[in-house]
Structure 1
């Protein structure tokens, strides 16, 4: 474990500010860490603790997450908005190239970015992408259920104020249960998304609109083209346990086939645990990442 200098600041976006955090020295090769659904940059803090000092680690909270400003209420937010956040951050940092690290939903936004701006991502490290990719099944094959669970439910509670207040112990217990984490791990995550209010109570900063972020409605052949078109050298870190249905597993495997087949470009590994293996088993995940980054035989398809 190393002691990296930590810095926090904000980047202006057209709708408000995005909260940034970095670890390490900006003179070193950059690595952008992108969190997933209803998460924050804090999801990577335990991972970065064990990463080498040879990189400059930068992360951020998506709009409506953590310390970032909310977006204006309106139509449902798509993952392509999150891709625009990535574009603006990379431009703000002035990076010509960088290493991309994502957890879960962050992969979808990242692969859209790579497809739109090829050559910027040197290498890609994706942690348990099967969940967001598998969810594309409902967009493509079960439009009725997708519509009801997104638009109908979203607008049925559109004007509802759901700023639920918690006692600190209640908030910790709720997230521990939802994500199968220890108390210590949970408190790391809550550091960026739980704020005190009056009477000793706390509230989550997650915006209601962000509970219905959905994958861009692309037909399967288009999504497959986006995922498989000249991807950079990639490491896929899979969790061994998940709650995906068989049909979700089937489409996830099909769309991620480029990454999971043995070849000289990509690596596909497994780490024991559930979806948040980068939090529950950071040392093992870091071992896989550093092996991949130190490998000089990995060749690019570009």
Structure 2
């Protein structure tokens, strides 16, 4: 709700942003108390804000600020908290910056009327790199949509990425060329119909919003993982006692031409030259014929410096529900 007001009213000054942040932090503390009984990692983290023209990108910096962090990118409709349990199991001398993508968590939404598209989010990742003036090669870690973004960024800037870790999604979803062309007009009209009422933001009792978040993940989240995500992904109602609303921007519910032809994805894969760790959760579904994912893995294997592939027990959110299953694999990959 706060980010919606920020975008709709065009707030831009740091004084205005500071008042918004203060309210966000109060609500975040309240939700941390309400949200989860799950033990939190002992590792300390610092809340950061990265300025962008429409507001800010929020993030959690784990570990020493003196060293370049591993940039961690969450999945669709999730937020930076998705990596809390895993980072808590990784070596304390490593630094991580887990961000909230635009329209997620505590990050500002894109300006009113703007379409959410993967290209814009890749530009955001580039802004972060430029903001901190990172000179060493990047290490990326992504889940689902964040894994796709790691793939895309590593293809766009092949000489600037040292390693990337991808959980469960290997590549962008491909679409038939003819279907892609024919659906363009319909996709645009669907988006415009969907955002006709941009201020619609229902609020629910706590148990209800937990259940909605969990069902929205196709029940791949445990209850405790759901509550952890909602600590950063929900706000406490200012008008309805005991009610909460989602922080996420509703415009993201419409996928607007975010898929790509398979031939395009193949060419992207051929440009990836870094070391790649891909972890597929066994109980998670494929969102297309597995042959396409296997084909991209084979291209990466033949062109990248190294490909390490594992299939691990777990749902689509296996890195969050059962971080102990992947932490040793991630640690060994980062240390190698």
TM-score bracket, normalised by the shorter chain, equals 0.7 to 0.9
Q: Find out whether 1:99 has 2:136 as its counterpart.
A: no
TM-score, length of structure 1 as denominator length: 0.87
Give the aligned partner of residue 190 of structure 1: 230
Give the aligned partner of residue 167 of structure 1: 205
Which stretch of structure 1 is more off in the superposition, 59-68 or 91-100?
91-100
Write out per-residue CA displacement over residues 11-59 of structure 1, whole angstroms, 9 at most, x where no aligned residue: 1112221112111112245211011211111111111111111211101
- Note the 1:232-243 alignment, pairs <5 A: 232-243=274-285
Give the aligned partner of residue 143 of structure 1: 180
Q: Any conservation in 2 of the 1:76–1:151 contact (CA below 8 Å)?
A: no
TM-score, length of structure 2 as denominator length: 0.78
Q: 1:69 to 1:262 in 2, by over 3 A?
A: closer
- Note the 1:1-302 alignment, pairs <5 A: 3-96=42-135, 97-130=137-170, 133=172, 135-137=173-175, 140=177, 142-143=179-180, 147=184, 150-160=187-197, 161-179=199-217, 180=219, 181-197=221-237, 198-200=239-241, 201-214=243-256, 216=258, 218-244=260-286, 247-259=288-300, 265-295=306-336
Where structure 2 has 5 or more consecutive residues not aligned to the other structure, the ranges are 1-39
Q: 1:27 to 1:192 in 2, by over 3 A?
A: same
Give the aligned partner of residue 23 of structure 2: none
Q: Any conservation in 2 of the 1:34–1:106 contact (CA below 8 Å)?
A: yes
Q: 1:258 to 1:168 in 2, by over 3 A?
A: same
Offset of 1:223 from its aligned partner?
A: 2.2
Q: Any conservation in 1 of the 2:75–2:143 contact (CA below 8 Å)?
A: yes
Write out per-residue CA displacement over residues 43-96 of structure 1, whole angstroms, 9 at most, x where no aligned residue: 111111111112111011111111111112335322111111111111222212
Write out per-residue CA displacement over residues 240-299 of structure 1, whole angstroms, 9 at most, x where no aligned residue: 123335x5433233233334679971100011122111111101111111121222xxxx
